[in-house]
Amino acid sequence: MTTYRSAWQQALYGPGGFYRRERPAAHFRTSVHASELFGQAIARLARQVGADQVTDIGAGSGELGRVLRAEGLKVLDIELDDELPDQLTGLVVANEWLDNIPCELAEWDEDGVPRYLTAELTPGDVVEGNDLAWLQQWWSGEPGDRAEIGLARDNAWADVVKRLQHGTALAIDYGHVADDRPPYGTLTGFRAGRECEPVLDGSCDITAHVALDSLGGEVHNQRDMLMQLGVSAKRPPLELASTDSAAYLAALSAAGEAAELLDPSGLGGFGWVFSHRS
Ligand SMILES: C[S@@+](CC[C@H](N)C(=O)[O-])C[C@H]1O[C@@H](n2cnc3c(N)ncnc32)[C@H](O)[C@@H]1O
């Protein structure tokens, strides 16, 4: 039986896979693409945690790194086929990386037994071993419900955190915690800026939300964290328009970008999961 996860892995990262060819910015918009205010806030976070180096895992086209370097930080971009150093220090960031790590999908059958979904999204073998233990700890369901088993994401993140000698690791992603698991899962595709059917032929991005609480760090939301880091969507005072119209327009545009980053039903609702090592 080919599980959905292995077909998903091939579709994104196998020969001819989506991420072997495509640039993320051409298909979807992350916080990094939405505004440089995001990177500037990450730079302030780096300073707060005493880091002068940032490692950006799943760096895409390196847009975040460009902003961080302009803020005076050293940046190591890690993309597919780059080797993650054995030892990491400073701030390690992974923005929208974990949702692209293929995970097993499971559906509870009419007897309440969770079964892996196949590449055709049909029920297959009974879920067992560590995947079953993960479901028992993190995601319960009724007959007909679907779960996205977070173990592959947990393992990928644990592999990052274990390399951290001293510093902070921060995973930023859309996701859920135990109280609000989506009963039918969140699997979806993106192509050319639009949501689409998740087709397993390498023609689109395929993503599922991340179980944030099982990653093992402190979970916060982007809106709160960015506001604490000084991002504000407050409009500039109207008087500025008559005294310095260029400054007024720039401040208005920054407020619009900040509003997108802080939107509780959009990017602002993303989880920020922190692990620290001192
Ligand atoms: C959704 S994109 C996010 C890009 C960027 N962080 C941003 O916020 O715009 C996910 C990126 O993770 C990369 N990626 C996936 N698996 C990876 C791995 N094992 N190591 C490094 N990068 C990986 C993909 O190639 C892709 O560029």
Q: Is the distance from the beta carbon of residue 175 to the nearest atom of ligand 1 less than 6 Å? A: no
Q: Is the pTM of this model over 0.95?
A: yes
Confidence of residue 173 (pLDDT cuts 50, 70, 90): very high
| Cβ 78 under 6 angstroms from ligand 1 | yes
**How confident is the prediction for the chain on average, in pLDDT?**
97
Residue 172 CA: distances (Å) to CA of 3, 10, 78, 157, 220: 27, 24, 16, 11, 10
CB neighbours of 180 closer than 8 A, spacing ≥ 6? none
What is the pLDDT at residue 47? 98
Closest CA to 217 of 267, 164, 147: 164
Domains of the chain (ranges plus CATH)?
4-102+148-228+262-277 (3.40.50.12710)
Instruction: Name every residue whose Cβ is closer than 8 Å to that of residue 224 and which is 6 or more positions away in sequence.
Output: none
E strand segments, the chain: 53-57, 74-78, 88-95, 105-108, 114-117, 123-126, 146-148, 164-173, 175-176, 188-191, 194-196, 205-207, 210-211, 218-221, 271-277
Q: What is the pLDDT of residue 27?
A: 87
Give the Cα separation of 51 and 162 in Å (integer).
18
pLDDT in tens, 185-239: 999 999 998 999 999 999 999 999 999 999 999 999 999 999 999 999 999 999 9
State both tokens at 10.
Answer: 């091939």
Q: Is 177 in the pocket of ligand 1 (CB under 6 A)?
A: no
pLDDT at 189: 97
Whether residue 264 has pLDDT greater than 90: yes
The residue with greater pLDDT, 26 or 155, is 155
CA of 112 to the centre of ligand 1 (A): 35
Ligand 1 pocket check for 35: Cβ under 6 Å:
no
pLDDT confidence tier of residue 1, bands split at 50, 70 and 90: confident
- Phi, psi (5° rounding) for residue 155? -65, -40
Does the beta carbon of 84 sit less than 6 angstroms from any atom of ligand 1? no
Distance, CA 28 to ligand 1 centroid (Å)?
Answer: 12
pLDDT in tens, 99-130: 999 999 999 999 999 999 999 999 999 999 99
- Between the CA of 15 and the centroid of ligand 1 the distance, in Å, is 16
- The reported pLDDT for the residue numbered 273 is 98
State both tokens at 158: 């644990």
Instruction: Note the pLDDT of residue 278.
Output: 87
Higher pLDDT, 25 or 268: 268
Which pLDDT belongs to residue 120? Answer: 96
Q: According to the model, what pLDDT value does residue 225 have?
A: 98
The one-letter amino acid at 213: D
**Closest residue by CA, ligand 1 atom 12:** 58
Q: Among residues of the chain, what percentage have pLDDT more than 90?
A: 96
Q: What pLDDT is attached to residue 136?
A: 98
CA of 144 to the centre of ligand 1 (A): 32
Total residue length of the chain: 278
